[in-house]
Structure 1
Amino acid sequence: MSELDAGALISAGEVEVPLVPVPPAQVVAGSPSTGSVDLDEDMGIGVWEMTPGAMSDVEIDEVFVVVAGSATVEFVDPALPSIELEAGAIVRLEGGMRTVWTVRETLRKVYLA
């Protein structure tokens, strides 16, 4: 599904997310893949997934809820304590934060950006 209509029910775990390999310049370890599906572009709601491995990233403003998997997010800039992600975790990121995501079990999140 590409759009979330008013009153629609979608299972975050069942949304098909096409995955592509992480660009080599972002890979820190392993061979991770990522992908996302916009559910409502006007509201910035979507589902994002990453397979095991580690990658660097520059964040956008978003709030997300982890629905499956486990990972560690290290904050490079600004230097903040690492956070552990598992199902149920709610996180807010600010645009421009530089991070390293280390995924142990395929991570899936629902985001609002």
Structure 2
Amino acid sequence: MTGSAGAFRIGQRVRVRTGAPPHHTRMPGYLRGHTGRVRVIQPPAPLPDDIALNAAPVRQLRVYTIAFTSHALWRQPGAPAHEVLCDLWECYLEPAWEPLKASWPSRSDGAASHDEKKERT
């Protein structure tokens, strides 16, 4: 995924992939599985994993600065909240789904949904 636009956009929620590759990686272990937001989109750069493996050719992948909340990463009650920024290559990230809404949307055919019927009674 090396296109000029990149796979993610500013403000988008992304999740750091889980799992540990059997080789050198610049993906910090403490971020794996955590969700953050894209803060900055940087130009493509050589993927360090490929360099460590002597892969040819070395992939040039977009790098993203991702913002994480300290509470989400370390869950320290009473500690002041701050933001943690980390530069991560595109292949380390995946889209994160937005949280589900609490109620179901209304039906497009005009019939009342189960929740709407319940509210009327």
Structures share fold, TM-score greater than 0.5 = no
TM-score by length of 2: 0.23
Please state which structure has a larger fraction of its residues in strand: 1
